[in-house]
Structure 1
Amino acid sequence: MRFVLASASPARLSVLRSAGIEPLVQVSGVDEDAVTASLTDPAPHELVTALAQAKAEAVAAELAEPDAVVVGCDSMLLKADGEIVGKPGTPEVAAKRWAQNAGTSAELLTGHAIIRVRDGEITDRTAGHLGTAVRFGTPTQAEIDAYVATGEPLHVAGGFTLEGFGGWFIEGVDGDPSSVLGISLPLTRKLLADLGLTITDLWNRPTS
């Protein structure tokens, strides 16, 4: 049985590899804006979960592997004022968000969806979400400008990373740190258990 990651995220791939999983990576190509527009006033956790489900469904529908679990993920930052934000996309937006987030805390919401494929057919589905509190430091304007100039925050949820350049400016995480990296190992394990699967059965085995 193959573990299929429906994401192009290098951070998610790195987390899984470090945790004993060598996934098959297959990017969904889902139009996230279209999925969001199709929802009627979703709660923040409903939005990230729906996006994760859409990604998993898209990959499962095109999967060549006859026996697999497809894992879709999505993350967004829920700010203290109730605004939910995804990837900044531009340097201007990234710089503005960092100026707003400096010295504050926000909740990174992570949605996961898992689809079980047997004999080329979808047989089971499950999904869930969790939140992790992130405490932002107070970088100087020069530090914010330098960070934005790396290009790193433009294409990641909330405009920051924990494992990259952004880690210098994150003062703490309350909750599951792997979820801040893009894929929650505890939540993934629980969702797999919902489908009757044990994560240890999917770990890489040394070859003799």
Structure 2
Amino acid sequence: MTQLVLASASPARLATLRSAGIEPTVIVSGVDESQLSDLPPAELALGLAELKCAAVAARDDVPPGALVLGCDSVLELDGEAHGKPHDPAEARRRWQAMRGRSGVLHSGHCLRDVATGRVAAATGSTLVHFADVSDDEIDAYVATGEPLEVAGAFTIDGIGGAFVTGIEGDHHNVVGVSLPLLRELVVELGHGWPSLWT
């Protein structure tokens, strides 16, 4: 069995991997995300994923022979990258801009084999269509606190799921980790996908 280390505090990423038969070791990177800026959204997502992966792979407590996965997601709307809102007012403004429109959720994935030092990385992108929600619905959603915890100020697998009318692409990518893309990266590094199953 190959051990996967998830360099992320995201409960949604952890749940996605667990539902796919993988029980990762979670080691949070603690990377300062503000050190990267002024990049196009897809490049920003990948750059942050690479930073998180590298930070965790360098640690002494990573199991030998493990694969370290760094991920980061941003929502692209009008060509700009949007991560987690900093406060309820920002989340409210974000939803007023998103409602009735579509955005692209980019999730950067960086996988490092600590035994060989080899790295495979790619960004998954999924088009997300948002419902034309009312101001009252936005206020109620922001009051739950959920939009403040997630990239793009929404979840597809939580309370915000009712406000997503459709997607084009991999729905796991919107949750934060694309299983088909991750499988490709695992194979690229010379491992078998089933070797990650617990």
Question: Is 1:59 paired with 2:56?
Answer: yes
The letter of the residue matching 1:67 is G
Q: Distance in 1 between matches of 2:177 and 2:162?
A: 21
Q: Distance in 2 between matches of 1:63 and 1:191?
A: 24
Aligned partner of 2:27 in structure 1 is: 26
Aligned partner of 1:200 in structure 2 is: 194
Q: What is the deviation of 1:42? A: 2.7
Q: Distance in 2 between matches of 1:20 and 1:195?
A: 20
Aligned partner of 1:5 in structure 2 is: 6
103, 106, 115: which one aligns with 1:106: 103
Superimposed CA distance per residue, residues 30-75 of structure 1 (whole angstroms, 9 cap, x where no aligned partner) = 00001x14xxx43322111110000000001114211200000001
The 3 A distance-change label for structure 1 pair 133 and 171 is same
What is the correspondence of 1:1-208 to structure 2 with a 5 Å cutoff?
Answer: 1-34=2-35, 36-37=36-37, 41-64=38-61, 65-79=63-77, 81-118=78-115, 123-204=117-198
| Gap runs ≥5 in structure 2 | none
Using structure 2 for the length normalisation, give the TM-score: 0.96
* Aligned positions, number: 196
| Gap runs ≥5 in structure 1 | none
CA contact (8 A) 1:87 1:157 kept: yes
Superimposed CA distance per residue, residues 57-105 of structure 1 (whole angstroms, 9 cap, x where no aligned partner) = 00011142112000000010111x2111111121000000101100000
Q: Distance in 1 between matches of 2:85 and 2:117?
A: 36
Q: Distance in 2 between matches of 1:44 and 1:101?
A: 16
SS in 1 for 2:114: strand
Q: Distance in 1 between matches of 2:119 and 2:80?
A: 29
CA contact (8 A) 1:89 1:155 kept: no
Q: Distance in 2 between matches of 1:153 and 1:177?
A: 18
The letter of the residue matching 2:98 is N
Q: What is the deviation of 1:127? A: 0.6
The letter of the residue matching 1:51 is L
Q: What is the deviation of 1:138? A: 1.3
Percent identity between matched residues is: 51
SS in 2 for 1:123: coil
SS in 2 for 1:128: strand
